[in-house]
């Protein structure tokens, strides 16, 4: 048969820069004489018995992709379908993928996606037993993949810039109208996007799941943090503010059944079994509880909730992500086709990263959690200097606030409480 083809697919949620990777991979591969084919909708069709190459693939050449790096979205679309079913590998789907690769003479596969797509890519690499080499380009606005050197996942910087612009506008509206905004920002397993946005915009406070460690918390516990910050802000002379909360905080309320109990309804799951956090009205839960508390103390407060996430995912990439995705796409082809990496390494497949300005493919088995067998997740290090700086600029109740008699009295007055009741009510936040 003719020279093997290179195929590209995109899995998971959209992120700014996907088209940059598609374009970069296509151009680099075409220059090396390879045919390039794009699979529509991630693993959805190639893992199905209804796969039709005339409908579910598109040939890619340089003229088709030469300017797509400037665009948001994905010309290959994307889907969350995986090769996992009920927590185990779906061997029927894997067999379908293998059949498609062999029938189309695909010898190289570039997958673009997050941790779930990376896991499916590693399954394909093992199943093909060296007849197909796989390179995974990490993509997620959550920035939660374990890249070395604190490198971000592509799409994160663009998402943070767009989110920061939104929050800046809300901050001005809050100041102008003397109200509070509770902004819930995407981030299932990690608070990078919420924290990065809050830090860049100068939000009043940001709450991320990592600050609670491994323990479970209640809605009331999160409300305590925000309410105390609102009262402190009032004592400092301001009736307005922005509280940013990472959506993953909802998972700290307990298992899925506990969250459903709080909501009084069931929550949909995605194909990977993850709770669709967009279906959890976290902002409303916090708003309703805090509004009730203020009213009980005879205080009136205006709170507006805003979810930020979907409007970030298909934004046109900023120059950082345009350049970064070009490096990653070129690196994927270099890893697959050059003689710089051993045959054994290529058989295993790898995630593409850049370390100290150089290509740094990471074998799939090195990014997998030995306990879960799934791709490891990078969370915010709350002991880091970066978090320390972010935390120091937030308005939150601090120990020294309660050690200052005059300021405690001022906060108690702002809350319409006596000093003893205020200290008893919120003292646990600094203990």
Are the beta carbons of 83 and 48 closer than 8 angstroms? no
- CA 392 – CA 387 distance, rounded (Å): 8
More confident residue, 103 or 258: 103
The pLDDT assigned to 340 comes to: 92
The pLDDT assigned to 245 comes to: 98
pLDDT digits (tens, 9 = 90+) for 83-132: 988 888 999 999 999 999 999 999 999 999 988 899 999 999 999 999 99
The fold of the 157-314 domain, in CATH, is: Rossmann fold (3.40.50)
**Would you say the CATH fold of 157-314 matches that of 5-154+317-367?**
yes
The pLDDT assigned to 256 comes to: 63
Domain spans, the chain: 5-154+317-367, 157-314, 397-431
CATH number of 5-154+317-367: 3.40.50.450
The residues assigned a catalytic role are 142
Average pLDDT over residues 202-211: 98
Average pLDDT value for the chain? 93
């Amino acid at each position: 048969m003719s020279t093997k083809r290179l195929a590209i697919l995109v899995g998971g949620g959209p992120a700014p820069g996907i088209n940059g990777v598609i374009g970069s991979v296509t151009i680099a591969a075409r220059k090396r004489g390879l045919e390039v084919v794009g699979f529509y909708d991630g693993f959805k069709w190639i893992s199905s018995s209804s796969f039709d190459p005339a409908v579910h693939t598109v040939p890619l050449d340089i003229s088709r992709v030469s300017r797509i790096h400037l665009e948001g979205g994905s010309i290959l679309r994307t889907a969350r379908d995986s090769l996992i079913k009920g927590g185990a590998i779906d061997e029927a789907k894997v067999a379908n993928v293998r059949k498609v690769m062999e029938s189309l003479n695909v010898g190289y596969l570039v997958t673009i996606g997050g941790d779930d797509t990376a896991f499916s890519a590693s399954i394909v690499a093992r199943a093909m037993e060296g007849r197909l080499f796989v390179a995974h380009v990490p993509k997620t606005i959550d920035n939660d993949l374990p890249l070395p050197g604190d490198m971000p996942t592509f799409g994160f910087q663009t998402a943070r810039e767009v989110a920061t612009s939104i929050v800046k506008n809300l901050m001005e509206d809050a100041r102008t109208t003397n109200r509070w905004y509770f902004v819930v920002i995407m981030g299932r397993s990690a608070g990078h996007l919420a924290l990065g946005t809050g830090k860049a915009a100068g939000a009043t406070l940001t709450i991320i799941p990592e600050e609670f460690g491994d323990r479970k918390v209640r809605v009331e516990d999160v409300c305590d943090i925000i309410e105390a910050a609102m009262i402190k802000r009032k004592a400092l002379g301001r009736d307005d503010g922005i509280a940013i909360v990472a959506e993953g905080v909802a998972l700290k309320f307990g298992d899925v059944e506990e969250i459903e109990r709080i909501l009084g309804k069931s929550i949909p799951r995605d194909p990977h079994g993850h709770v669709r956090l967009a279906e959890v009205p976290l902002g409303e839960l916090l708003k309703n509880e805090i509004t009730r508390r203020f009213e009980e103390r005879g205080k009136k407060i205006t709170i507006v909730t805003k979810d930020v996430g979907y409007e970030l995912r298909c934004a046109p990439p900023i120059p950082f992500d345009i350049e970064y995705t070009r490096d990653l796409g070129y690196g994927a082809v270099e890893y697959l086709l050059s003689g710089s990496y051993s045959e054994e390494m290529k058989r295993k497949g790898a995630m593409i990263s850049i370390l100290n300005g150089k290509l740094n493919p990471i074998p799939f088995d090195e990014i997998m959690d030995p306990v879960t067998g799934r791709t490891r997740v990078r969370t915010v290090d709350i002991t880091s200097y970066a978090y320390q700086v972010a935390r120091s600029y937030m308005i939150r109740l601090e120990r020294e606030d309660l050690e200052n008699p005059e300021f405690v009295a001022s906060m108690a007055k702002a809350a319409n409480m006596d000093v003893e009741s205020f200290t008893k009510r919120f003292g646990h936040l600094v203990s």
